[in-house]
Structure 1
Amino acid sequence: MLLEIKNLYKSFGDKKIFEDFSLSLDYGEKIALIGKTGSGKTTLVNLILKNTEPDKGKIFFSGSLSMVFQENRLLEDFSVYENLKLVREMDLSKCEILLEKMLLKGSSKEKVKNLSGGMKRRLTLLRGLIFESDLIILDEALREIDQATKDKVLENAREYLSGRSLIYISHDLDEIKKLGIERIINLDDI
């Protein structure tokens, strides 16, 4: 088992987020978390990352993790290439091949601050995907990307997700379907 959450309780003041919540994720398994704003999706990620502690319960994680947050978290004054090299050693020609898959062809030497919002988002996604890990968590990873671009990016992202576990957080059921995720957990129902 890669990730196991047992009898999780988490509240913020009087607001209960999780009450006796359990979840397991095996190596190579892919799940989607859906739910309204405030249902606990990002809180669950923060608990897994140990950015916050549960009130009660246990979280066991036995692997390596890559995370794509809702915010881009890129180094704006660095080039696209430099941002990617932070997570995986590569030469410029390999970088160009990777960028082409995210529809960022020819941008390797560009400073991140000069990219559009959608381009930054695709770069953030690519950086998370190329980091070698057992589990990748994608939290609203495709926001700010138009539908035609999103479809192509989703198609290319599948190759990076092969054999890896995934926690995909989204409001978009079409994205979930295109990634081939069959196990959906609606946090509104817990």
Structure 2
Amino acid sequence: MMDIIVDNVSKSYGEQVVLKKLTVRFPEEKISCIMGPSGCGKTTLMRILLGLERADEGRVEGVPYGKISAVFQEDRLCENVSAIRNLKLVSEKDEAELRREMEALRLGEAFGKPVRELSGGMKRRVAILRALLAPCGCIMMDEPLKGLDEETKIVTAGYIRKNAKEKTLIVITHDRQDLELLGADKLLTLA
């Protein structure tokens, strides 16, 4: 792994300029947070880093394509299968290990339920867990703690911190409290 470098990246949608000559470095194996108002380009930047969109100009280096995991604004889970089956899509851990991981995020009761029957907060935690269990060196998360009550947010942030060690973690958030809970090493504020 190496630092992820964004160099003079610009992106527009028609006449709307979303990113203009953005240059930033996301340090390897650190937690970086991106903050800013709605519509300032946070999610667009993440989509460019993931290779889902192309920048109009500039370059991106150091993204370990093929070894990257993501949590999007929507949970993007397989709704008709259980939470455990969603985790097995990316992890070779056995069911007992997966159950322990789920219980660490207070998801014990969700183990065998179809995802469509889970609450929004439970779905969010399953999506986070799936991203963390995937074999990867870099994880990108778009508003991972949204919709969680305070106590669950604290537990989940601690779990993310613990399980993202030795990985590059890039998190989009609107909430300053998330920076503290995640122990962010770097903050990028987009205007």
Tell me whether the two structures share a fold, i.e. TM-score over 0.5. yes
User: Match of 1:4?
Assistant: 5
CA contact (8 A) 2:35 2:187 kept: yes
Deviates more, 1:12-21 or 1:73-82: 12-21
Match of 2:113 in 1: 110
Structure 2 stretches of 5 or more lacking a match? none
User: Secondary structure of 2:130's partner?
Assistant: helix
Structure 1 residues 63-108: Cα deviation after superposition (integer angstroms, max 9, x where no partner): 2211000101111111111100001012211111000111101422
Q: Which of 63, 78, 82 is 1:75 aligned to? A: 78
Report the count of equivalent residues: 188
Report the RMSD for the aligned CA atoms in angstroms.
Answer: 1.2
2:91 pairs with 1:88: yes
* Shift >2 Å, 4+ stretches: none
Describe the SS at the equivalent of 1:110.
coil
User: For the residues of structure 1 that align with 2:110 and 2:83, how far apart are their CA atoms?
Assistant: 7
Contact 2:84–2:111 at 8 Å: present in 1 too?
yes
Asked if 2 retains the 8 angstrom alpha-carbon contact of 1:27 and 1:134, the reply is no
Displacement of 1:62 = 4.2
Counterparts of 1:155 and 1:30, CA distance in 2? 13
Residue 47 of structure 1 is matched in structure 2 by 48
Name which of structure 1's ranges 120-129 and 55-64 shifts more when overlaid on structure 2: 55-64
Task: Give secondary structure in 2 for the equivalent of 1:59.
Answer: strand
2:23 is matched with which residue? 22
Long gaps (5+) in structure 1: none
TM-score for both structures, normalised by structure 2: 0.94
Instruction: Percent identity, please.
Output: 32
Amino acid corresponding to residue 89 of structure 1 in structure 2: E
Counterparts of 1:20-169 in structure 2 under 5 Å? Answer: 20-63=21-64, 64-169=67-172
Q: Deviations over 1:1-37 (max 9, x none)?
A: 3311111111112221222211122321221100000
Determine helix, strand or coil for the equivalent of 1:94: helix
Scaled by the length of structure 1, the TM-score of the pair is: 0.94
Structure 1 counterpart of 2:85, one-letter code: E
One-letter code aligned to 1:47: I
Whichever residue aligns with residue 10 of structure 1, its letter is K
